[in-house]
Amino acid sequence: MKVGIVAGEASGDLLGAHLVSALSSHVPGIEFVGIGGPKMQVAGVHSLFPMEKLAVRGYVEVLRHYREIVGIRRKLLHHFIENPPDVFIGIDAPDFNLELEIGLKSRNIPTIHYVSPSVWAWRGERIGKIARAASHVLVLFPFEKKIYDAAGIKSTYVGHPLADVLPEKPSRAAAREQLRLPSNTKVIALLPGSRQSELHYMARLFVKTARLIAAADPDVHFLVPLVSRETRNMFEKELYRAEGGDLPLTVLFGHANVAMTAADVVLVASGTATLEAALLKCPMVITYKMSPLTWRIMQGKAYLPYVGLPNILEGRFIVPELLQDDATPENLAQAVLNLANDESARDKLFDVYSKLHHELRQNTAEKAVEAILPYLK
């Protein structure tokens, strides 16, 4: 049995690794080939191209890399036509994967799209393209299945794998002991994004914000988990340029879970990391910046007043969001300090986060395997 599989960023790499491991346990000798990051490769995926080539977000940013990305997709489609997999699984990355899935499905190769594009938040017209691309959609959130049922698209609610693997009651004391941090220190985790394009817009913003927080609270310590050598280098350059070398700050290679568990508050770029922070019961301030042109285009297509997953899942603002022009060092520092000093607000968030965790814990990998196995028989 052979499975084609493509993930385009760190969150997809995590999803893919869990799925590959689960499928391998059900189908001995199964092969996986496509594009995956380090976690998927360890699980057994033969990656034909570096996943980082696809990790670009935003209209303007994608245009800069358009020719290279389209070239990769064309070569990948040719590879799968010449070496047909029994099934293809596209993990998120809809702008890349849906076009690839259309090409494969038209050649009678079953296609699974794992993670619904956010048609409920913006660009709802994509539902027609998804119908042409996917034989089956695996959705992570319960409200998404109703959308696909209404559109006549086969789908399965599988929950979110982070809810399966993260503890319902994480130990802040144990995380701080692992990082050798005093228990009485105020700890702020800074997560400026996993993509290089995100660091381009947010690294300096996060450093300047940290300087303001440290000036207001000299006893604070910052943790900065970064996913790659490239993003670490970008952050450290901005640290130097913004004269942040004297900040009480520890840069980590990975270990985002530990950093968020240890933190009193996390300042986080909008994305899957916001859900991870919620499942780790960490109070957060969500932010994001992108090119002004991309921002204007996306604002014209948006349906919801919020972008962070905890707020979307709750249908209300449970944590603050400061985006684009509102994302200034002064605003972010004040929001982080407000939350760090408000014990009552943090206690209320813990209760909401716990409810979300229970709803999303579905034994995701096994549910996904159950949906995929019929296409392999």
- What pLDDT was estimated at residue 55? 60
Q: What is the pLDDT of residues 77-118, one digit of tens each?
A: 999 999 999 999 999 889 899 999 999 999 999 999 999 988
Which string of DSSP letters, residue by residue, matches 318-349? SS-EEEGGG--HHHHHHHHHHHHT-HHHHHHH
pLDDT of res. 293? 82
296-333: per-residue pLDDT in tens?
Answer: 877 766 667 888 999 999 989 999 999 999 999 999 99
Task: Report the range of poorest mean pLDDT among 151-155, 223-227, 329-333.
Answer: 223-227
In the structure encoding, which two tokens stand for residue 151, read together? 């559109």
59 pLDDT above the threshold of 60: no
Report the chain's mean pLDDT, rounded to a whole number: 90
Over range 266-276, report the average pLDDT. 93
pLDDT band at 150 (very low <50, low <70, confident <90, very high): very high
pTM tops 0.85, yes or no: no
pLDDT tens by residue, 236-251: 888 888 777 789 999 9
Average pLDDT, integer, range 342-356 = 93
> 293-321 burial, b for 16+ CB within 10 Å, e for fewer?
ebbeebeeeeeeebbbbbbbbbeeebbbb
By CB atoms closer than 10 A (0-12, 13-18, 19+), residue 343 is exposed
Which domains does the chain possess?
A: 2-159+362-376 (3.40.50.2000), 172-360 (3.40.50.2000)
Edge-to-edge order in the sheet of strand 155-157: 45-47, 31-35, 2-7, 87-91, 111-114, 136-139, 155-157
